[in-house]
């Protein structure tokens, strides 16, 4: 009697276990389908985990070859995590596989080339690209010129496009206005000033502490050398040592003034270039 009761019960329990096992395997398999993979890639991207998002996009593209959303997020992820060289490689791999880029993907690829300093490749790509409008291509070319510090070319592209019909260009008006107002220090003048009076070239560039230090040190060395020669004449080792030391400081002061002028100009230019780079990033 017990056997008759337990057999149906055992069969029922076994059936439940088998169904549960198969169901769990189905759920596990579904976690790696296209929908779950794309959702997870999107979550990683939105949470700022761009390197992991790029890896998940690779899986997404494997499951759904040629998927435009996956390709775009892949390129953006590599750009945002600063892996420009790998982003360029992946882009070229997609293109070599027969993938044609739409305007958003083309913008990302051109940007990756520019940030990776592949300027000639960026030019070739933009000049032969059919998915971008002339205005979109010019916008990228203008920013490429800014990255190369080619202000003349960048401003020319801006003036060709900077009107109300191209709102993306409009914020750059202040960048080019500020460029023409950049403070500038002449390296030749700084050197000349320090040649006549040591340290004054650095006064000119605003490096007051270095200027005073150079002036005092060169003056002290010259004075010590003078004392040595005054006491023992041209046979004074003391005079020659401090004279040589002072001479080295003097010529170093001239070169230092030249470098200070160059650094002054680069510092102010780089601050303005950062402003332009921030505008570019905000529009991507």
- Delimit the domains of the chain by residue range: 187-275
- What are 23-51's pLDDT values in tens digits? 444 444 555 678 899 999 999 999 999 99
What pLDDT was estimated at residue 96?
A: 86
CB contact at 8 A, 169 and 139:
yes
Non-local CB neighbours of 85 within 8 Å, separated by 6+ positions: 116
The confidence score (pLDDT) of residue 275 equals 94
User: Is the Cβ–Cβ distance between 158 and 142 less than 8 Å?
Assistant: yes
Q: Which of 16-20, 173-177, 274-278 has the lowest mean pLDDT?
A: 16-20
CA distances from 40 to 25, 86, 226 (A): 20, 21, 78
Q: Report pLDDT digits (tens) over 149-205.
A: 999 999 999 999 866 567 889 899 999 999 999 999 999 999 999 999 988 989 899
pLDDT score of 108 more than 80: yes
Q: How far is CA 52 from CA 31, 41, 43, 67, 80, in A?
A: 17, 8, 10, 18, 12
Contact 253, 217 (CB under 8 A): no
Spatial distance between the Cα atoms of 102 and 13, rounded to a whole number of angstroms: 56
pLDDT of amino acid 15:
44
This prediction has a pTM of 0.78
């Amino acid at each position: 009697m017990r056997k008759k009761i337990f057999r149906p019960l055992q069969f029922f329990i076994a059936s439940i276990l088998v169904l549960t096992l198969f169901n769990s395997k189905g759920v596990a398999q579904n976690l790696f389908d296209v929908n779950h993979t794309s959702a997870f890639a999107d979550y990683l991207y939105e949470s700022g985990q761009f390197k992991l998002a790029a890896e998940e996009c690779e899986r997404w593209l494997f499951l759904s070859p040629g998927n435009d959303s996956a390709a775009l997020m892949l390129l953006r992820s590599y750009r945002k995590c600063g892996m420009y060289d790998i982003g360029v490689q992946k882009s070229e791999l997609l293109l070599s596989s027969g993938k044609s880029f739409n305007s958003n993907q083309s913008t990302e690829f051109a940007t990756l080339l520019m940030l990776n300093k592949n300027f000639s490749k960026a030019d070739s790509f933009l000049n032969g690209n059919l998915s971008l409008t002339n205005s979109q291509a010019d916008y990228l070319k203008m920013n490429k010129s800014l990255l190369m510090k080619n202000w003349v070319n960048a401003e020319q592209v801006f003036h060709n496009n900077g009107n109300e019909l191209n709102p993306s260009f409009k914020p750059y008006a202040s960048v080019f206005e500020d460029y023409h107002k950049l403070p500038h220090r002449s390296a030749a003048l700084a050197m000349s000033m320090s040649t006549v009076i040591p340290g004054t070239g650095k006064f000119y560039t605003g490096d007051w502490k270095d200027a005073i230090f150079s002036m005092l040190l060169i003056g002290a060395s010259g004075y010590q050398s003078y004392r040595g020669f005054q006491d023992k004449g041209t046979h004074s080792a003391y005079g020659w040592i401090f004279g040589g030391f002072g001479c080295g400081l003097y010529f170093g002061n001239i070169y230092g003034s030249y470098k200070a002028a160059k650094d002054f100009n680069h510092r102010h230019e780089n601050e303005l270039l950062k402003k332009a780079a921030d505008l570019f990033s905000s529009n991507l």
